[in-house]
Amino acid sequence: MPASSAPNAATYRTMTTRREFTYRYIYAAPRCDKPFLLFLHGFPSTSFDWRYQVTYFSARGYGLIVPDMLGYAGTDKPEDPKHYTAMSLARDMIDLVDGAKAKHVIAIGHDWGAATISRLALLHTDRFIGFAWLAVGLTKPDPTFEYYAFCAQLKRLTGSEVFGYWQTMDREATPDLYKEKVDALLTLLYPSDPSLWKTALCPFGGLDAYLAVGKVQPLPKWLSNEDYEHMKRMLLDGGFRAPTNYYRVMVRHLEYEQTLTVDVKNKKIDKLIFYGGALQDYVCLAQPAKMSLVGLSDDYTTHEFDTSHWLQIEKPDEFNTVLEKWITLVIEVSKVRSNVYLLA
């Protein structure tokens, strides 16, 4: 498969949202009464991180909407971090779904994509028939959120710092640093040794110290040199300013005003939900993430993968099989609940 192409029957499309941002996304029309699957990536990724899922699910007749998220690859890259709140991104995703005329959609998100899934599940529940979170669990709009207090709470719960690297991501000088140290950064983020994250990402100052040394790690066996170079080229072409804005939103709490407009503290949804945890992910800890979704729905499925953060790339066969089993259940339950499905 050429690294730069959308595989099989999938093709690239573009669409401009109500916010006047143009998104590029992989599109495949559904066949045989299958639903659409909306796949949302995180940092430092693009739609290319779903390459194994695009190949697998398009071949089985599922419709696909797989965007380069705001700030990445073929999608617009506004520099102001205010545009990257999860609530705003969720509205963009609704625009993409509407533009594709997709009526029956399952939303699936990894990393920061899971944060957008949280907003879709809580604020746009009826637009979807199921929701899946990968690595990252449920995050709710919270006007009381404060980054350093959040980090302190996590340290009390886990016994160690977890999100110290967000502080580095927030700095204005970070994009230039990442460009200069791109191979050291990316071989850390896509690690051959996942335990490196314990010292290089989790503690405050860890990422600064790691990049100061600048060691380039070997690629993991699940990432080819061709794919790595393609991923690196897309990031360098677009720059790191826009992708790091997702972290600035959190550290600076730029979603604050939007969170005041909603109250989802005790919300429960009547949709099937899924959580896929990565047992060798030392930042997005599987157990707390799994527990975050307890109580959101009575129909909750979980699966733990013995992988690093990148479960959908590292073990695509296992991941695709597990996810499709859950998707099949979503379809069956949706048929029962609605009595009329897809062609109605």
Helix spans in the chain (H): 51-59, 86-99, 112-123, 147-158, 165-170, 174-180, 182-189, 197-200, 206-213, 225-238, 241-251, 256-259, 286-292, 311-314, 316-338
Confidence of residue 343 (pLDDT cuts 50, 70, 90): very low
What average pLDDT score do residues 70-99 get?
Answer: 98
Q: Which residues of 243-263 are buried (b: 16+ CB within 10 A; e: fewer)?
A: bbbbbbbbbebbbbebbeeee
Token pair of 65 as six digits:
């909407």
The per-residue pLDDT for range 259-307, each reduced to its tens digit, is: 999 988 889 999 999 999 999 999 999 999 999 999 999 999 999 999 9
Sheet holding 300-305, edge to edge: 11-16, 22-28, 63-67, 36-40, 105-110, 130-134, 272-278, 300-305
The per-residue pLDDT for range 56-69, each reduced to its tens digit, is: 999 999 999 999 99
The per-residue pLDDT for range 108-165, each reduced to its tens digit, is: 999 999 999 999 999 999 999 999 999 999 999 999 999 999 999 999 999 999 999 9
Q: Which domains does the chain have, with CATH numbers?
A: 11-338 (3.40.50.1820)
What average pLDDT score do residues 182-201 get?
Answer: 98
Distances (CA, A) of 99 to 60, 150, 184, 291, 341: 23, 37, 39, 34, 20
In this predicted structure, what is the pLDDT of residue 2?
A: 39
In this predicted structure, what is the pLDDT of residue 5?
A: 46
Token pair of 88 as six digits:
């705003």
Give the rounded distance of the alpha carbon of 88 from its chain centre.
15
Number of helices (H), then strands (E), in the chain = 15, 8
| Percent of the chain topping pLDDT 90 | 92
SS3 call for 104 = coil
The per-residue pLDDT for range 216-247, each reduced to its tens digit, is: 999 999 999 999 999 999 999 999 999 999 99
Token pair of 23 as six digits:
């998104």
In this predicted structure, what is the pLDDT of residue 98?
A: 98
